[in-house]
Amino acid sequence: MDKKECKHCSQIKLLSEFRSSIIRNKQYFRLECKECEKKMKRIKRLTNRKELNLSFFRDRASSLNSGAKSRAKREYIKVTGEQLMELFLTKENSRCYICNTSLNYENLIFDHEIPLSSGGAHNIKNIRCCCQECSSLKLDRDLQSFIPFLFDYCQRVEEKLGGVINDL
Ligand SMILES: [Zn+2]
Ligand SMILES: [Zn+2]
């Protein structure tokens, strides 16, 4: 059976997974698989909704820190609103990748999983969706140092305020 690579998800799939059309007795297959086509259609539909429009994602992308932006310029890497929207809706399923809380337009932050300061890339593979709380605690830590930091932080709060909290 013939297979081909989807331009969108980069998976090698059977030709039957691609829509095709016949032009002058020749069969032409779409660049993206049926599954990706469906996803993209959903995203296109959603971009028409006021609260979920692309400009929101473009604004959020441009609010990524300035270091990220100047590096992106230097390396000619662009992250588009469409990519961020797909990330948010599909890959992350609208949840924070750290604490799994449900995300909305007020608390959504785009975070570099490997911080730019540690050599992480400014591309869609290294950008994740997280909530404001996680983002403000994580700062430019990577996940390996973020978890021990959290334990240490909670311990310090417990030592200082534990008694107070018990009294509440
Ligand atoms: Zn695909
Ligand atoms: Zn979170």
Q: Using CA of residue 23, residue 28, residue 31, residue 34, what is the dihedral sign?
A: positive
Judge contact between 149 and 141, C-beta under 8 A: yes
Structure tokens at 164: 């107070």
Judge contact between 131 and 88, C-beta under 8 A: no
Ligand that comes closest to the CA of residue 30: 1
Ligand that comes closest to the CA of residue 108: 2
> How many helices (H) and strands (E) are present in the chain, helices listed first?
6, 6
Domain ranges in the chain?
49-162
**Distance (Å, rounded) from C-alpha 96 to C-alpha 108?**
8
Question: pLDDT digits over 129-164, tens only?
Answer: 999 999 999 988 999 999 999 999 999 988 888 877
**Given 3.40.190, 2.60.98, 3.30.40, 1.10.1740, which CATH number is that of 49-162?**
3.30.40
Ligand that comes closest to the CA of residue 138: 2
| pLDDT confidence of residue 51 | 66
Question: pLDDT digits over 30-70, tens only?
Answer: 999 999 998 888 777 777 776 677 777 877 777 666 666 67
Question: pLDDT digits over 90-134, tens only?
Answer: 899 999 999 999 998 888 889 989 988 888 888 889 999 999 999
Q: Does the pTM exceed 0.85?
A: no
